[in-house]
Amino acid sequence: MMGRAHLIIGTGVSLSVLALNGYDITFSAAAVAAVSALLPDIDEPNSLLLTRTLSGRMLRVIQLLMVAAAGWVFFAEAAPAPWNLILAVLIVAASFMPSRLMRKVIIFVLGAGVAWYGTTYAPWNYIAGILLMICTIVPHRGLTHTVYAIAAWTGLLFGTTQQYGASIWLAGGIAYTMHLLLDSLTNNGIRPLPPLPWKLRFKLMSTGTRKGARVEMVGIVLTLLLAIYAFVQSAI
């Protein structure tokens, strides 16, 4: 399913469920729901989540910064010769890696940074950092599209946000779960409990096709109707 449909349906359903059950709909809960609706596709460098957060323009800025860093390493002799030249050449070469690979490298470095510097939130920083690094090496619709991932993400949110109420971690957990349920509608489906070979798939659509677009539109319309009903009910 396309990223736009995941965003609208996952966010809409999660916030509607909260509203119907009397939970406060806060900006934080809505933001976490939106991110969680797209988060399982973090294992795909060209997903909506990563192409928006790590856009082509941002990647070009990072490339320029890497070239500048290479110049500093060489001219400031940050390492003994000839290692300063070798290191500078390696940095310049790395700056020209394909955008897909660069996004993976950035996510890996970000995960390492979260694990290393986020000790204030230990042990959650280690869990988040390790998961980010793992996401860069697993195949698409692999580990991130499992029941284990739902449990890990919901647990991470619970451990770090429960002091602000239940809305945030519930919104995130529901939206993440909705992403997997939506992907189970496709012909490929998902493997929710690896290493078990069982697949959850309903074969209703194939992403990027006309039939797929119709199924997505039906889902979006139903989500909007649910949201209207939920927020009208909560206002009564």
In terms of residue numbers, what domain contains 13?
A: 3-44+140-235
Percent of the chain residues past pLDDT 90, beyond the cut: 75
Whether the per-residue pLDDT at 236 is higher than 80: the answer is no
Place of tokens 């060489």: 74
- Average pLDDT in the 201-209 region? 90
pLDDT for 234: 81
Place of tokens 């990647």: 59
Residues 68 and 33 in one domain: no
Spatial neighbors of 82 by CB under 8 A, at least 6 apart, are none
Residues 227 and 163 in one domain: yes
pLDDT for 122: 80
pLDDT for 124: 83
pTM of the predicted structure, to 2 decimals: 0.88
CA distances from 71 to 86, 98, 102, 146 (A): 12, 21, 20, 44
Beta pairing partners, 186: 205
With cut-offs at 50, 70 and 90, classify the pLDDT of residue 190. Answer: very high
Residues 68 and 26 in one domain: no
Percent of the chain residues past pLDDT 70, beyond the cut: 100
- Average pLDDT in the 23-38 region? 95
Q: Does residue 126 sit within a domain?
A: no
Q: Does residue 219 sit within a domain?
A: yes
- Average pLDDT in the 175-187 region? 96
Residues 72 and 189 in one domain: no
Residues 69 and 145 in one domain: no
pLDDT for 9: 97
Spatial neighbors of 154 by CB under 8 A, at least 6 apart, are 169, 172, 173, 176
pLDDT for 149: 94
Domain count along the chain: 2
Q: Does residue 118 sit within a domain?
A: no
Residues 33 and 146 in one domain: yes
pLDDT for 235: 78
Residues 65 and 23 in one domain: no
pLDDT averaged over every residue in the chain: 92
Q: Does residue 125 sit within a domain?
A: no
pLDDT for 101: 92
Q: Which of 115-119, 146-150, 166-170 has the lowest mean pLDDT?
A: 115-119
**Per-residue pLDDT tens digits for 52-88:** 999 999 999 999 999 999 999 988 877 788 888 999 9
Residues 15 and 90 in one domain: no
**Residue 224 identity:** L
Residues 145 and 231 in one domain: yes
Classify residue 139 by its DSSP letter.
P
Residues 8 and 89 in one domain: no
CA distances from 108 to 36, 43, 57, 99, 128 (A): 19, 11, 20, 14, 11
pLDDT for 118: 83
Residues 33 and 69 in one domain: no
Q: Does residue 217 sit within a domain?
A: yes
Classify residue 215 by its DSSP letter.
H
Helix (H, G, I), strand (E, B) or coil at 190: strand
Whether the per-residue pLDDT at 233 is higher than 80: the answer is yes
Q: Does residue 130 sit within a domain?
A: no
Residues 63 and 24 in one domain: no
pLDDT for 223: 97
pLDDT for 80: 83
**Per-residue pLDDT tens digits for 107-139:** 999 999 999 988 887 888 888 899 899 888 888
